Amino acid sequence: MPPVKTTVMMELTWRCPAACRFCYLRGTGRLNAGRREMSAAAIERFMRRFPAGTHFYFSGGEPFLRRDIFRVLGYAASRGFEWGVNTGALPLEEAAVAKLMALRPSYVIFSLHGTPALHDGLTGVKGAHARLSRALRLAAALRRPGTEVMTNCVICPENARALPAVYLQAARAGADRAVFEHLQFAGPAAARAGLSPEALITPFIGGLKMDLRALGASIKELKALRGAFRTHLELRPDFDAKELARYYKGSPRPAACPGLTSTVNVEPDGRIRACVLYSAKAGDAASYDAAAVRRAQRALVKGGAPAGCARCCRRYVIERIF
Ligand code: SF4
Ligand code: SF4
């Protein structure tokens, strides 16, 4: 069997000009809290620990708020990593988009959550949709072979009916892929298991009112767009009606986490947490010890995947519909 590739989920900043309703940084008080962030030099030292071909996923906050962002991304490119970045595009001017695409990332993900009014409402920034659309179009126009331009939409009660409209925007802007990801939230089962907002990164949302009928119809309409554009459609994951109900109204049964020990989750200050959703400390970027991180991860899932794993993005695969 080929060796499992390591994915480093690298959060570069806690700063962001948006205030999305579903943002976990906002929900846990981390957003724009003025916490210390690693310098570009420290990030480079950490990256040097990984061989060429390692997958680095850069996110935030909003990574393009960092003044040294192109130093960090340029370094990733120079090391031969497979790397991509996720942005809400608010600080992205045309020159920055051109600079980014010239670095030939493996992918660029634009967070697109709705039609103009919906997207602006969900992000809390008037004009956010217009800015993102401009940057997305430009990135698609400048894309070179080897780079995928993607959109990612977090499915939530507010945009449940608008998913086909989001796909159409992505497709008309020239995106290669439109990904739709079900909202991550912790429900009563996590609370019953004794998990607090401090233990889990994912926000606790009680009484979520998802219109499952509308969401089901929206997904059906999405799938009917097959063949209309060259833009791939992906759902994370592709639930049937019963699974949808269990996800939003019940307690999806936690499963094992096959990808856990091949993932390293780094916070902007260099703190390494055990996994994408649990905030337990597993190490530090400055004194990175891969074996110690793996030990902390194994300890986390020793008795099987715990209740907080219920709606984790990492345990559901992205399923390509077309
Ligand atoms: S763009 Fe991302 S980091 Fe910023 S508020 Fe929205 S979800 Fe949070
Ligand atoms: S499934 Fe659980 S252990 Fe695995 S990454 Fe998700 S929250 Fe973490």
Ligand nearest to the CA of 62: 1
The H-assigned helical ranges of 250-314 are 290-300
List all residues whose CB is within 6 A of at least one atom of ligand 1. 16, 18-20, 23, 25-26, 60-62, 88, 111, 123
Instruction: Report how far ligand 2's centroid is from the alpha carbon of 205 (Å).
Output: 18
Protein residue with its CA nearest to atom 6 in ligand 2: 312
**What's the CA angle centered on 54, arms 48 and 58, to 5 degrees?**
85
Give the model's pLDDT for residue 1: 62
Pocket of ligand 2 (CB under 6 A): 257, 260, 275-278, 300-301, 305, 308-309, 312, 314-315
Which two tokens mark 272?
Answer: 């390494």
Q: Please give the distance, rounded to the nearest whole angstrom, from the Cα atom of residue 29 to the centre of ligand 1.
A: 12
How would you class 89 by CB atoms within 10 Å of its CB: exposed for 0-12, middle for 13-18, buried for 19 or more?
buried
Cα(297) to centroid of ligand 2, in Å? Answer: 9
As assigned by CATH, the class of the 7-320 domain is alpha beta
**Model confidence at 142: pLDDT above 80:** yes
The more confidently predicted of residues 293 and 191 is 293
Token output for 192: 């019953």
pLDDT tens-digit series, residues 103-139: 999 999 999 999 999 999 999 999 999 999 999 999 9
CB 306 within 8 A of CB 186: no
For a mutational test of ligand 2's pocket, the pick from 184, 263, 272, 277, i.e. the residue with the most ligand atoms closer than 8 A to its C-beta, is: 277
> What would the pLDDT profile of 23-72 be if each residue is shown by its tens digit?
988 888 889 999 999 999 999 999 999 999 999 999 999 999 999 999 99
Residue 216: half-sphere exposure toward Cβ, Cα within 13 Å: 12
- 3-state SS, 183-252, equals CCCECHHHHHCCCCCCCECCCECCCCCCCHHHHHHHHHHHHCCCCCCCCEEEEECCCCHHHHHHHHHCCC
Q: Which residue from 270, 262, 310 is spatially nearest to 4, judged by alpha carbons?
A: 262
| Cis peptide leading into residue 270 (ω within 30°) | no
Q: 137 CA distance to ligand 1 centroid (A)?
A: 21
Atom of ligand 1 nearest to the CA of 88: 1
Domain boundaries defined on the chain? 7-320
Q: Give the residue, by CA position, lying nearest to ligand 2 atom 2.
A: 309
Count the neighbouring beta carbons within 10 Å of the beta carbon of residue 104: 13
**82 CA distance to ligand 2 centroid (A)?**
23
Work out which ligand 2 atom sits closest to the CA atom of 275: 8
Tens digits of per-residue pLDDT, 226-260? Answer: 999 999 999 999 999 999 999 998 888 777 787 89
Helix/strand/coil for 257: coil
Q: 78 and 121 in contact (C-beta within 8 Å)?
A: no
Q: Secondary structure of the chain: what % helix, strand, coil (to 5)?
A: 35, 20, 45
Its pTM stands at 0.96
Q: What is the pLDDT of residues 173-214, one digit of tens each?
A: 999 999 999 999 888 888 888 888 778 888 888 788 999 999
Question: Could you identify the atom of ligand 2 that is nearest to the CA of residue 315?
Answer: 1
